[in-house]
Structure 1
Amino acid sequence: MPRYRRCRQPGCHAMVQFPNHYCVKHFEHEAEYLANRQRWARTHGKQYQHKYNTQTRNRNATKHDQYQFYRSSQWQRLRKQALERDYYICQYCGQPNSKTVDHIVPIEYDDKLKDHLDNLATICRKCHRLKTDWEHLWYGTGIGNQRKQATELHDVLSIKHLMNKNKNNDSES
């Protein structure tokens, strides 16, 4: 079955079959786009990937262990169990067809809970972004933040309430 994507021309919504990037109407831009991609790839070779892997993804032993956990078959099994338990419905807003599984208490804060099914919840992308921002404030997780001695919240409804309260405070500012 062929795969399709949108034309890269701004404002054009025509569908293009892989591996092309532009529709028939804008195909004259294809060669220039491919040349730019190759130029970028040459300048961002192994050093770029090495920097990403060593300084961002695997910046310390804890982050390296977390990354390895998310690549494990144990995580894949837990993730599938959580999705099926929650019927692919976001536990924060109720949106169906959500395919992301999130740790209720982040493993960066308490890594002993990383493989507990009751610490996992299905979450949509929008809620995941809000929850991550809330975790940075509540637990002090994330790059450059200092971990706080906060109370671990295991209840999705309490977290949802605090996330929305935080979101409303940000919009008023």
Structure 2
Amino acid sequence: MPPKPLRECKLRGCRELTRDGYCPAHADGKQQEAKYYNKHVRDKQSTSFYKSREWKQTRQLVLMRDNYLCQSCLKQNRVVPADMVHHKIELKQDWNKRLDLNNLESMCNSCHNKVHGHRYPPALNP
């Protein structure tokens, strides 16, 4: 598997290059954002699922199938690396489709946030 491409840190204004979304100096902000989401938005069953071996394997399959590219951006003729895998039909709507490859697509963080309308407290917003 090829390594992820180097990209600028997701923190607005930071020009450090990283493969993990945030540079080492700003990785703590990413962890705070994830903690907020897990504590206030995601339920316990979903949290457990996203830590499971089955999900990690399925997620990797989807990323490889989609060539690690955001499918939403590709539809707009833009080539952007995918950061995550999106459930077209959410877990809350149909738990049985959680590992269905036809229900999953690779997305960049920006497109995923647009689809879900994620909003975090201003202090955590990159």
Gaps of 5+ in 1: 1-5, 15-20, 22-51, 137-173
Q: 1:125 is matched with which residue?
A: 109
TM-score (norm 1): 0.42
Which of 33, 58, 61 is matched with 1:78 structurally?
58
2:14 and 2:85 map into 1 onto residues whose CA distance is 34
Percent identity, aligned pairs only, is 29
Number of residue pairs aligned between Structure 1 and Structure 2:
86
1:12 and 1:124 map into 2 onto residues whose CA distance is 18
- Equivalent residue letter for 1:128: H
Q: 2:48 is matched with which residue?
A: 68
Q: What does 1:141-152 align with in structure 2 at a 5 Å threshold? A: none
* Alpha-carbon RMSD: 3.3
Cα shift at 1:56: 2.1
Gaps of 5+ in 2: 1-8, 17-24, 26-35, 119-126
Which whole-Å deviations, capped at 9, do the CAs of 1:126-161 have from their partners, x for residues lacking one? Answer: 11011102xx9xxxxxxxxxxxxxxxxxxxxxxxxx
- Equivalent residue letter for 2:57: R
TM-score (norm 2): 0.57
Which has the larger Rg? Answer: 1
Aligned in 2, Cα 1:97/1:65: closer, same or farther, shift over 3 Å? same
Contact 1:57 1:64 in 2 (8 A): no
